[in-house]
Amino acid sequence: MNIILLGAPGAGKGTQATKISERYHLPHISTGDIFRANIKNQTEIGMLAKSYIDKGELVPDEVTCAIVKDRLTWEDCKNGCLLDGFPRNTFQAEELDKFAKIDAVVNINIDFSLLMDRLCGRRVCKECGESFHVSTLNGATTCSRCGGELYQRKDDNPETVKSRLDVYDAQTAPLIDYYTKKGIILNFTGTEAPASVLFEEVAAVLDQKIR
């Protein structure tokens, strides 16, 4: 089963992805994580991606699609995968249709007014990728789950967040229509409630499809 997670930056895709991936034993493929790993390792792709990511713009489609196309040929994807952050525009969605069959799209709708604070206050664990909000950390600088060091993503600043949200609105939101027309979209609403509440709703629906 191939599942896409769709939603604005900060909607909680990463957190839901971790939970969905564990429950249904699907590899979690996040294009953002792949780019960040490439930036850390100073690869050619990393250098290229950084110039776009730092401005809150999308990395060119040819590069992004080639990475995902290759990743889906790995052995761990033979029973499906969970795509997080891909596709992000109609071109990518059409390309994806050429090399994978998508069974379900988990779309997290969220009020944009919640996102600026969520993203600018986000701290991420360097080791396990878990996200926290600075307001709940009481000054802690390490992850309560694995002890890893917490950091602030460079693109989680007001100016870059603003462009990321604009890009979502203009390029990614039309995918809701794209997948609604295909009849495979599952709609959920993100709130300020703990991520586990949303996950219960998502799992209840996915259980019907997967088990």
Cβ proximity of 151 and 40 under 8 Å: no
* Cα 89 → chain centroid: 14
* Strand extents, DSSP E, the chain: 2-7, 28-30, 81-84, 104-109, 122-125, 131-133, 150-151, 185-189
Smallest separation, CB 185 to ligand AMP (Å)? 18
**Whether 122 is catalytic:** yes
Question: Residue written as tokens 């944009």?
Answer: 112
Q: Which of residues 143-172 bind ligand AMP (CB under 6 A)?
A: 155, 164
Binding region for ligand AMP (CB under 6 A) out of 79-87, 107-115, 121-129, 200-208: 79-87
Give the nearer residue to ligand AMP in terms of CB position, either 118 or 164: 164
Q: Which of 2, 31, 38, 107 binds ligand AMP (CB under 6 A)?
A: 31
23 counts as catalytic: no
Residue closer to ligand AMP (CB basis): 80 or 85: 85
**Helix 195-210 crosses helix 13-24 at what angle (to 10 degrees)?**
40
Q: Kindly identify the residues of this chain, within the stretch 40-59, that bind ligand AMP according to CB under 6 A.
A: 52-53, 56-59
Give dist(CA 81, CA 27) in Å, integer: 5
18 forms part of the interface with ligand AMP (CB under 6 A): no
86 part of the interface to ligand AMP, by CB under 6 A: yes
28 binding ligand AMP? (CB under 6 A): no
Angle, vertex CA 113, rays to CA 199 and CA 202, nearest 5:
10
Contacts of residue 75, Cβ cutoff 8 Å, sequence gap at least 6: none
Name the residues that contact ligand AMP, by CB under 6 A.
9, 31-32, 35, 52-53, 56-59, 64, 85-88, 92, 155, 164
Residues identified as active-site: 13, 88, 122, 153, 164
